[in-house]
Structure 1
């Protein structure tokens, strides 16, 4: 934490010996000699403690105090004067000064007061940092899922987020690749900076270059002013290049240079601009296959593939489906001001059997539609798309064993999966199953669960 002090005092003034004394005590000290230097220094750097010993009128010191507390409230200010009037001291304390005192005969007497001011400033800074951490956690994008695959993915995200390395996220459309990128950003040292995302596959090479690198005035017809690109705007932050597998090949060459040199050149420009951006790439395609076909540069693949995260498809983690259903029901019930809190048993069974080619995004759309159509507190089978009611369409192919299972076996397995997904919470399980708690209790007793 910062232990720096700004001493404001004229040359050979009353506090002339103080800077060296503070340095000997282990503080970082800057000494300025007038209000002009003070303002310029405070504009460039924050200080834990400011000690003002100028002999001007008290009003000037109070103006300085007011400005400091308005801009950096954690900074503690000690005002020192040869003749400290009581009324001036009272006003200063009311305005937030840590202390207002007469100039001591020995500047070393100030050290006790300064140390207390330093402790208060550092404590307040720590409290603010903790508040920011809590705020960051509250706004943290989260991945839903209790399955083993999702638990492992969350561990990998937590492990690599602070490392500031390039990451490649692979997963089918709708699995949540941008959510993972945002988590990597929020858990990194860049969390307080900007996060940008751009789909690299929807632009031509020329338009993508303009978006990423910006352009100089007059670079092309219509370029009436200089434009900053996304790489510059994201400086010190994170940039997600989504659908990187669709990026035009000639743009792949330019991106490789950026990753290697950490510089960009605006369209129509000649000067290199240094950038510090963490690049995260995402794709639903197999880049290794694209490399073999000559559709993606091998050297860029190696540069992007420092660490790879793979998002499992929703059909690979069916135990997470009830969790998503519950989450989306709550989300859209609030959005549409409705009280939809449960799914009927046949509706949940239909949702569990679906193959979800659109993954989580598809399930969200299904639940949103169902909440809109639902005229009671429970989503029924007829609230789902037509293919669910007909028993046709995008269901997973049943095995012979599944066909020959009894309804009781299916019901028992489904109740077990729902209970596991909500960690044994029977009230929540009953809501998901669309039955009351008494009915659930009877079924648990029936199946000895």
Structure 2
């Protein structure tokens, strides 16, 4: 999970100061020291950490905090605001050219996930912004780079422009733009060549493409798991190409988060997108304020709602609400809901978006282990159609058969049946008392 190590450390640190009725300057110093260590352990740039801590200390011992009725909460507010500022302050949106098509150059080193991110970005633009992008295979050096982009294009049903490996990248880019104009594609996304390291030959080629096509965006794709190396790469590309923004890949696997917290401060260029998984729909617009809240355990409800709206079918959600109102919700419906929740991403990441979920980690019964969902799914799939529709018919022999078929125990089957009935009652109460307005999609899942 993104920022897991940093988040755990920071949440433990700020918890000590949150409930204090009075905060002394010494309290602030001790908190600042812990925050400093947590950031350095997360591989955040040393100078960035130093500047951030100085700003936090200066504000936290100021009048707005010391004279507040809730000084502990005010300190946390200061930390959140400074983290948000550090990562860019507000979301930096993708460019839109005055005259179509908008041209985007994707640049970066080999292994950062540039080609895959090119496909993800095209998919994002179509799904979120109703755009019609053209992918351009401009990497003529890496074996199978063109094939990879064409395969991605097929998977997302997106056109790919290619002239093979013998044409010059500049010519490929120019002709792709002409085709985009003819075919009315409103975005052209050029997958340029990468290298194992920054060299003059690579930069010369990229500068030629830049000067010829005059791109509206130059997005640098960096692997967030490389830590400080990602910062060095970003500095090099920015100095020579004047990039417009950064896309961080593999942020879902980076428990430290140093790159995300350092890049904006070092390059003065915003993080525009973050790769949160391997699937082609797992590219998210980067929101500094939401990420700061997630790191501090305050949740990220807006992102959670956006995920639900993208992955949960609205018609099915309305049908489900009706079933819950009249208590006709079955295990078949539940299985369908589980599938939709899975499409929203790893369960740990979803839980991190719920405010206060960090406090639940230490509780005995708050286990958000995805393996438990596998057990739940296996139990339901081992039931007959009639048993899924009418759980009340379950007797000892049926439960024993289901347990054997699912590789679980009778006690696990009993627990799921009990939780299912409790959940139905709870969801009926919630739908009956819910006020008019926009209703959330999705539902709570029982955990065994």
The structure carrying a bigger helix percent of its residues is 2
- When Rg is computed on C-alpha atoms for both structures, the one with the higher figure is 1
Bigger relative contact order (CA 8 A; separation at least 6): 2
Q: TM-score, normalised by structure 1?
A: 0.29
**TM-score, scaled to structure 2:** 0.29
